[in-house]
Structure formats: C-alpha cells, structure tokens
C-alpha cells in the first residue's frame, strides 16, 4: 500500500458517519458507504470498517469536544437495517500488509479510548444503541461506550467471533474490556469469545455484556429517554459556544518531509530517521482566558497539539521504515510557560480543559508509537512543562553542556512546571516522571522542588532528567554513533524492547490492551493459521474453514 494516508478530514467530506444534533444530545449514525474503502479490492458491507471509516470517527469524536461542547450524551447507532456493525472488514485485513494491520488496530484502539474517556474528561457520555448484528469490532465500538442498550429480538446479538471464525483476536480491546470493564465472569467470557453466533437478549444482560435489553417496539423511544435522563444528570455546565477546527497548514515535500506552521518533520531515508522540530510560540500568551478562546484553533497550545498529533500519525502509517524519531524544540521557554500557565490556571474553563485533555492524548499516542525515539536538548530549545514531557516519553535524551563554538543561542535548559506532576498521565495512570523514578520518591521530590527553575545540563543530569550531557567536542560524534547503532538493530527486537521498558509500574486496562493485545496480535498476524494461503482470513467467505497447523507453540 503506497497511498499516502491523510488523517485530516471534516464533516462535509464524511462518507461513513453522520451526526444529528439535538441540544445536549447528539445522535451519531454509522452508515458506511460500502464503496468508500480507503483502498481498492474490498467492499465495506454490513457497516464493516477500515482505517478510513475510523479516521472519520476520530474526527467526529474530536469535533464533538471542541465544536459542540453543549453535547452531554452521544448516541452511537446504525444507519442501516438489521446490522449495527460487522466489525473490521475481513477482506481488507486479508489483503493488507502486516504493518498496516497492526497500525490500523493501534489507531482504532486509540479512537475507542478517546470516546471511552469523554465522560470523565469532557462531560460527554456515549450510549451504544444496538439493533441487529453487533459483531467483532462492532461490539468493541459498543464496549468502549459508557452504556450499551440492546434490542430484544430474534436478529440482534453481540459477539466476538474472531477466535473461532478468523483465527485472530478481537483487535481493539474486546477481550480486556469484557473482563476488566464489563466484569464478565471468566468462564462465561470463554464461552462468549468461542461462539460465532454471539449472545442475544436477556442472556446478554445476565452475562453483563450489555446494560439494558429493550423490546424492539419500544427501543428507539427508550434510547432517547435514556439519553435525556443521562443528559439531565451530567454535571457539565450548560452549553458553551464551540470553536471551529479548520484544516491544518500542512505541506508534504517531494523528499517526504512535512511542514506545518509550528512543526517541521525532516526525513532522512538513508539514516532511516525523521527529525521533528517543534517551534515555540510566535506571539505572547493571551492576557485572559477570553482572549485565548477568541483565538480558536489558532491558539498556540491547540495548534501545536493538532500538528504534532497529525505528524505522529503520518509517520506511523506512511513512513514505516523510518525507525528513529528525533525530537527537537526551538523557541522562547518563557513564552511556552506563559501559554501553558494560562491553561493550567483556568483548567475549569471548557476550552482550556479540552486542550489539556488533548495534550494528554497526544502524549499517550507518542508513548505507544512503535519507533525508537530520542530527544535533543540543544541551545535555544524550549523544553518547558508539557513540552518537557517529550523528554521522558522518548527512549533517550541528550543535552548540550556549556558553550558550543559559533552557537549564540540561549544555553540549553529544562524547566519543570505543574504540568509535569499530574495533568498528563501515561496509560498506566502514572506521570512520566513517576514512571522514570519508579519507587524513588526522593528523586521525584527533588525534581519537583526545582519547578520553574531553568535547569542547565549539570543540574538536569544530577536530577536524572536526561540520559547524557555532552560538550561541544563530543556532541556530534555521540549522537551519530547512537543513531547509526539504533538503525542497525532489528526493528522487531527494538519494538519489543522499547515496549517492555517504557511502561514500568502497574498495569491498567489501557496498558493491557496496548501491551498484551498488540504483542499477541502482532504475532498472530504473522502466523499461517490466520494469514497463510489456507489461513482463516484468506478463506473467509469461501465456505471453507482455515487449514490449521495444530501445534501449540
């Protein structure tokens, strides 16, 4: 697949989703255009989806939070008769490259997590209104909602048939959400996940697979009544005026480099490396939160989050062989701190909250990106607060020490703020510094005691904030050696090593989904039982079951 995948879209371009707004309630309809696949060679029948469908859903969820903050309840439902969603398109999975399948699953996981967290983060509760077949990824869409309602009729059911039917696992957290979120008993979950036809009606309710079962004749009315009741109980303040998310200022060069207004992505294919340079604010911070709101999507912190998010997604899906991502910043750290401080001071304001929550999601996306990552703290950099989080999201951080010949930029420094001690937790619910200093309260306390101080190389090193400090003599050679070494290692080994090292500490439902599921699915997607010429994905729809090698390995 050589097509460049664009993660930017907007409502007038949607082919698969539509939204009807009714005050605090948004009715979200999945109505997939079967001829609207992202690639050739398959049809998206029965509301099945591919990456293109999910890119639209991610955009819907994002706009719901920024453009429609008046919404308190979102009802996810089907625009087609007798089917809610058949899940990920099997023909697409059967024909896609391994790397695309894995990255597709990762993006869909991130999208599910985003609307699953919308109730807590943004005061928007999601209801899944299930009529008809709800199978595989379709049920995973419902599982990520806060409340599931199922029609009690002869055709409506929920199912996770991937294991018996396709020889793969549910790809977007279904197994983990069934046990950890729905609290389904382990033996019943085993039966459920081994049954192709799924579970209907009252049994689905008894097994905790859904929250309500309603007679078909009363279903639509009951869903809207439930939505109104939830909306009335939501503590979210009454409707604020949303802002418009306009298209990003983005240019892709002939060499693959990408330029935004604040982010530059330089591609070096020979070195298998992409360097992401983040520029500091081009203007002073607004004086008031009202002035910030008036800036809309051009406010520095929001604009930068959107651009960095898009850059990471672009590199994940379109630049598979660039195994090393290098982060740089350049700009005035005092300005960065002022822009951030305004949001933290007014975090109860709806838009400030949404921008902060968005940064949490962007940083989590970086955490789980399967690339080696490093950060360079150079003279003139602006690693302050939320931007300093990048230093502990990456695998190694190198910092300039003392003056460099011919370099008149301000001396390299790192400034910690309140942003580094709570607002942006990892998937583990620990901050990146808590993860870095796991079970070392003294080191964490020492770092926190230095908040708002510009920490130059020696101090940053003594606090454990960087991997290595280097002077003018050693800087270029040490960086070159590291990058060349990293590029020479097996990408598979690097992915496994980095994923094991990045998430120290306790597990959560989210880390299990990204850790265990991604690891197992990555392996299963390479096994002939699933993807071989006689595997289940290739034989799906032919009337023949997969021809399995029955060894347990």
Q: What is the DSSP string of 418-435?
A: GGGTTTS--TTSS-HHHH
Of the candidate CATH numbers 3.40.47.10, 1.10.10.410, 3.90.226.10, 3.30.70.260, the domain formed by 251-492 belongs to 3.90.226.10
The CA distance from 328 to 301, in Å, is 17
Q: What is the pLDDT of residue 518?
A: 82
CATH, range 16-233: 3.90.226.10
The CA distance from 273 to 134, in Å, is 42
Burial (CB count within 10 angstroms: exposed 0-12, middle 13-18, buried 19+), residue 138: buried
User: Given CA atoms 158, 164, 167, 169 in this order, what sign does their dihedral have?
Assistant: positive
Q: What is the pLDDT of residue 153?
A: 94
- C-alpha distances out from residue 455 to 334, 384, 393, 438, 535, Å: 13, 10, 19, 22, 56
C-alpha dihedral, 331 to 335 to 337 to 338, nearest 10°: -170
Is the Cβ–Cβ distance between 138 and 175 less than 8 Å? Answer: no
397 phi, psi to nearest 5 deg: -130, 130
Q: What angle do CA 495, 424, 342 make, to 5 degrees?
A: 140
Per-residue model confidence as pLDDT tens for the chain (553 residues): 468 999 999 999 999 999 999 999 999 999 999 999 999 999 999 999 999 999 999 999 999 999 999 999 999 999 999 999 999 999 999 999 999 999 999 999 999 999 999 999 999 999 999 999 999 999 999 999 999 999 999 999 999 999 999 999 998 999 999 999 999 999 999 999 999 999 999 999 999 999 999 999 999 999 999 999 999 999 988 878 999 999 999 999 999 999 999 999 999 999 999 999 999 999 999 999 999 999 999 999 999 999 999 999 999 999 999 999 999 999 999 999 999 999 999 999 999 999 999 999 999 999 999 999 999 999 999 999 999 999 999 999 999 999 999 999 999 999 999 999 999 999 999 999 999 999 999 999 999 999 999 999 999 999 999 999 999 999 999 999 999 999 999 999 998 899 889 989 999 999 999 888 888 888 898 899 999 999 999 998 898 989 999 988 7
Instruction: Name the segment(s) of the chain with CATH classification 3.90.226.10.
Output: 16-233, 251-492
- Nearest-CA neighbor of 355 among 297, 285, 288, 280? 297
The CA distance from 85 to 142, in Å, is 9
């Amino acid at each position: 697949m050589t097509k460049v995948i664009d993660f930017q879209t907007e409502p007038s371009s949607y082919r698969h989703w539509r939204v009807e707004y009714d005050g605090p309630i948004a009715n979200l309809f999945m109505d997939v255009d079967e001829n609207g696949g992202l690639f050739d060679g398959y049809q998206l029948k029965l509301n099945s989806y591919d990456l293109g469908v999910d890119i639209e859903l991610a955009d819907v969820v994002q706009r719901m939070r920024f453009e429609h903050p008046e919404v308190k309840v979102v009802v996810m439902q089907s625009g087609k008769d007798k089917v809610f969603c058949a899940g990920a398109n099997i023909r697409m999975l059967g024909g896609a490259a391994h790397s695309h399948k894995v990255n597709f699953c990762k993006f869909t996981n991130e999208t599910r997590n985003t609307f699953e967290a919308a109730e807590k983060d943004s005061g928007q509760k999601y209801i899944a209104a299930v009529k008809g077949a709800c199978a595989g990824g379709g049920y995973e869409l419902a599982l990520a909602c806060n409340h599931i309602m199922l029609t009690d009729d002869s055709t409506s059911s929920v199912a996770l048939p991937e294991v018996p039917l396709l020889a793969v696992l549910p790809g977007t957290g279904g197994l983990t959400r069934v046990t950890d979120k729905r609290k389904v008993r382990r033996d019943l979950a085993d039966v459920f996940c081994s049954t192709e036809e799924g579970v209907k009606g009252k049994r689905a309710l008894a097994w905790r697979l859904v929250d309500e079962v309603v007679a078909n004749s009363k279903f639509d009315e009951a869903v809207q009544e439930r939505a109104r009741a939830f909306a009335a109980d939501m503590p979210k303040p009454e409707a604020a005026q949303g802002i418009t998310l306009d298209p990003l200022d983005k240019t892709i060069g002939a060499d693959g480099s990408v330029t935004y207004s604040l982010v530059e992505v330089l591609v070096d294919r020979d070195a298998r490396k992409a360097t992401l340079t983040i520029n500091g604010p081009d203007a002073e911070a607004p004086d008031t939160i009202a002035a910030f709101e008036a800036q809309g999507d051009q406010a520095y912190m929001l604009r930068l989050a959107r651009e960095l998010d898009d850059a990471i997604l672009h590199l994940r899906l379109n630049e598979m062989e660039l195994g090393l991502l290098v982060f740089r910043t350049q700009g005035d750290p005092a300005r960065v701190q002022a822009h951030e401080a305004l949001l933290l001071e007014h975090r109860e304001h709806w838009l400030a909250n949404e921008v902060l929550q968005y940064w949490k999601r962007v940083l989590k996306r970086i955490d789980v990106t399967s690339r080696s990552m490093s950060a360079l703290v150079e003279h003139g950099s602006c690693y302050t607060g939320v931007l300093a989080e990048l230093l502990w999201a990456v695998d190694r951080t190198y910092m300039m020490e003392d003056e460099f010949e011919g370099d008149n930029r301000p001396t390299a420094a790192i400034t910690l703020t309140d942003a580094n001690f709570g607002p942006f937790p990892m998937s583990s619910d620990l901050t990146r510094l808590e993860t870095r200093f796991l079970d070392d309260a003294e080191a964490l306390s020492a770092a926190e005691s230095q908040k708002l101080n510009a920490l130059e190389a020696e101090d940053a090193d003594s606090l454990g904030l960087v991997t290595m400090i280097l002077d003018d003599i050693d800087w270029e050679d040490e960086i070159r050696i590291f990058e060349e070494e990293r590029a020479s290692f097996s990408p598979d080994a690097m992915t496994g090593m980095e994923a094991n090292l990045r998430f120290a500490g306790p597990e959560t439902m989210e880390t299990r989904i990204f850790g265990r599921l991604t690891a197992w699915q990555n392996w299963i997607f390479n096994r002939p039982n699933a993807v071989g010429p006689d595997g289940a994905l290739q034989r799906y729809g032919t009337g023949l079951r997969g021809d399995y090698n029955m060894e347990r390995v």
